[in-house]
Amino acid sequence: MSDAASLFKVNGVLLVAIREDIDDTDIVDLQDRLSNAVNDEAVDGVVIDISALEIVDTFVGRVLGQLAKIAHLLSSDTYVVGMRPAVAMTLVELGMTLPEMRTALDVDQAMRRIREGE
Amino acid sequence: MSAGQETLKVLAERFDDLLLRWTEAQSEEGVQRTDVFSKKEVREQSTRLLRAFLDGAKGGDLDDPDLSTESWADLRDALREVSEERTERGVTPTQMATFIHALKTPLFEFLTDRIDDSKALAAELIVAARLVDAFALHTTEAFIEHREKVIERQRAEMIELSSPVVELWKGILAIPLIGALDSARAQEVMENLLEAIVERQAEIVIVDITGVRTVDTQVAQHLLRTAAAVRLMGAECIISGISPTIAQTMVQLGVDVGEVLTRASIRDALVHGFNKLGWDIQSIKRPDEHAGRRDGRGGRV
């Protein structure tokens, strides 16, 4: 099993911490694990922490968007949190504004929003 | 004897006479600017330039003077300093060039005194003229170079000054944009803003465009990209200060702001931010003036 990211379940929220040097195979693998985990564990929400991620390309950007969509299809709120300024700028430059993705500043804020049922 | 040697001799042997006559010629041309420089200062500047000119002429190619070569390094430095000194006190480039050109008068006089043969004199004068011309041309270059540096510095300062990120409330940032928004500035604004979001843990960001003169498709694009990046960071972006004219222009241009929240004034945007964060503004209730205020002061927002 790959360790592209660590998955924790905290208070009914699935927390996904993505590792710094994630590559294309890892992230596809993660997509698989995440969908299974969301399905099995009946979580209220998913928080994907990408604060370790320093480099993004269109592929990673797209997979992030897909992760959010998949979790949404499996009926749980998904937040991507901790995006670095440089990463945000790169994604915008690449034209990937990921409108389907919910974002929050940090894990704390995302947890709060999930609790509030936003 | 190659042309230019006599010029060199005149420069070397009659240096003091030349200097005296040069300053006189400057005075006649009316370019000494004794209103902003003392006689002593002008004399010092002229001495410095003529000395460097002589040193350069000794080592340089007199037939084809190229002031960018190594032998003229001294003259270039002297020129740069003198033209900076003079232009800072309001001397125009034309006056500066005429200041140098005034050297021709005494130089030609002295050459005419020395050389009897008309052909030799003509050849010598051509070389001398070319030298002084190159000298004068370089002052213009030095002047432009100096101005360009000033412009570049001011541009950098302006960019820094013109995109301050201010914290209006805990979690609410505002960035008032003023003037024209070109690509370089839009980039700067975005960088500052995103860094500030991380630093201050902001949830609401208000981009106020009250001070932006015109919004065309490109500016709108920059704004929307900034808003998109802010959203990716996990904060909410509100664009405020859209005047009726700008709103009309944006619609006519077919700019689609999509999901980005817009407000007419920064006040409305701030109120939205407060509501979003769970704050409310209320007047301090005083029994006598509490009821029925309609002038916009006090009361709930």
Please tell me what DSSP assigns to residue A1. -
A45 — contact with chain B (CB < 8 Å)? no
Look at residue A1 and tell me whether its pLDDT is greater than 50: no
Give pLDDT tens digits along chain B (301 positions): 467 788 888 888 888 888 888 888 888 888 777 777 888 888 888 888 888 888 888 877 676 777 777 778 888 888 888 888 887 888 888 888 888 888 888 888 888 888 888 888 888 888 888 888 888 888 888 888 888 988 999 888 877 776 789 999 999 999 999 888 888 888 888 999 999 999 999 999 999 999 888 888 888 888 999 999 999 999 999 999 988 888 898 888 888 888 889 999 999 999 999 999 999 888 887 766 555 555 555 555 5
The predicted-structure confidence for A46-104, as pLDDT tens digits, reads as follows 898 988 888 888 888 888 888 888 877 876 788 899 999 999 999 998 888 888 788 99
User: A105 and B234: CB-CB below 8 Å?
Assistant: yes
Closest residue in B to A103 (Cα) is B234
Chain B CB contacts of A104 under 8 Å are 234
Does this complex have an ipTM over 0.90?
Answer: no
Contact B13, B137 (CB under 8 A): no
Give kind and range of the element (H or E) at residue A16: strand A13-18
Question: How would you list the strands of the sheet with A45-49, edge to edge?
Answer: A5-10, A13-18, A45-49, A77-81, A102-104
A55 — contact with chain B (CB < 8 Å)? no
The number of residues in chain B equals 301
Instruction: Count how many pairs of residues, chain A against chain B, have C-beta atoms within 8 Å.
Output: 58
Q: Who among A92, A99, A109 is closest to B234 (CB)? A: A109
User: A89 and B190: CB-CB below 8 Å?
Assistant: yes
Q: How many CA atoms lie within 13 A of B192 on its CB side?
A: 21
Chain B CB contacts of A109 under 8 Å are 203, 234
Chain B CB contacts of A110 under 8 Å are 234
User: A105 and B235: CB-CB below 8 Å?
Assistant: yes
Chain A CB contacts of B194 under 8 Å are 85, 88-89
Taking the CA of residue B205 and the nearest CA in chain A, the distance in Å comes to 12
What does the alpha-carbon distance between residue A51 and residue A85 come to, in Å, rounded to a whole number?
A: 10
A94 — contact with chain B (CB < 8 Å)? no
User: A103 and B233: CB-CB below 8 Å?
Assistant: yes
**Three-state SS letters, chain B:** CCCCHHHHHHHHHCHHHHHHHHHHHHHHHCCCCCCCCCHHHHHHHHHHHHHHHHHHHHHCCCCCCCCCCHHHHHHHHHHHHHHHHHHHCCCCHHHHHHHHHCCHHHHHHHHHHHCCCHHHHHHHHHHHHHHHHHHHHHHHHHHHHHHHHHHHHHHHHHHHHCCCCEEEECCEEEEEEEECCCHHHHHHHHHHHHHHHHHHCCCEEEEEEEEECCCCHHHHHHHHHHHHHHHHCCCEEEEECCCHHHHHHHHHHCCCCCCCEECCCHHHHHHHHHHHHCCCCCCCCCCCCCCCCCCCCCCCC
A48 — contact with chain B (CB < 8 Å)? no
Report the residue of B193, B204, B221, B232 to disrupt the A interface, i.e. the one with the largest count of A CBs within 10 Å. B232
Q: Count CB-CB contacts under 10 A for residue A12.
A: 14
The number of residues in chain A equals 118
The predicted-structure confidence for A6-55, as pLDDT tens digits, reads as follows 888 888 888 988 887 777 788 788 888 888 888 887 788 889 898 888 88
Q: Count CB-CB contacts under 10 A for residue B152.
A: 10
pLDDT in the model for residue B289: 57
Question: Closest Cα partner for A107 from B234, B196, B169?
Answer: B234
A51 — contact with chain B (CB < 8 Å)? no
Rounded to the nearest 10°, the torsion over CA A19, A21, A27, A33 is -30
User: B228 and A92: CB-CB below 8 Å?
Assistant: yes
User: B234 and A103: CB-CB below 8 Å?
Assistant: yes
Residue B194 φ/ψ, nearest 5 degrees = -65, -40
User: B234 and A104: CB-CB below 8 Å?
Assistant: yes
Closest residue in B to A65 (Cα) is B232
A97 — contact with chain B (CB < 8 Å)? yes
Question: Closest Cα partner for A94 from A60, A49, A53?
Answer: A60
Question: Closest Cα partner for B238 from B211, B218, B209, B215?
Answer: B209
Taking the CA of residue B100 and the nearest CA in chain A, the distance in Å comes to 53
How far, in Å, are A23, A81, B208 from residue A15 at the CA level?
A: 20, 11, 36
The predicted-structure confidence for B240-292, as pLDDT tens digits, reads as follows 998 888 889 888 888 888 888 999 999 999 999 999 999 988 888 776 655 55
Chain B CB contacts of A98 under 8 Å are 232
A65 — contact with chain B (CB < 8 Å)? no
Question: How would you list the strands of the sheet with B236-240, edge to edge?
Answer: B166-169, B172-179, B204-212, B236-240, B261-262
User: B232 and A92: CB-CB below 8 Å?
Assistant: yes
Taking the CA of residue B215 and the nearest CA in chain A, the distance in Å comes to 20
What does the alpha-carbon distance between residue B69 and residue B60 come to, in Å, rounded to a whole number?
A: 8
Please calculate the CA angle A82-A83-A88 and round it to the nearest 5 degrees: 160
User: B229 and A89: CB-CB below 8 Å?
Assistant: yes
- Put simply, whether the predicted model's pTM sits higher than 0.90 gets the answer no
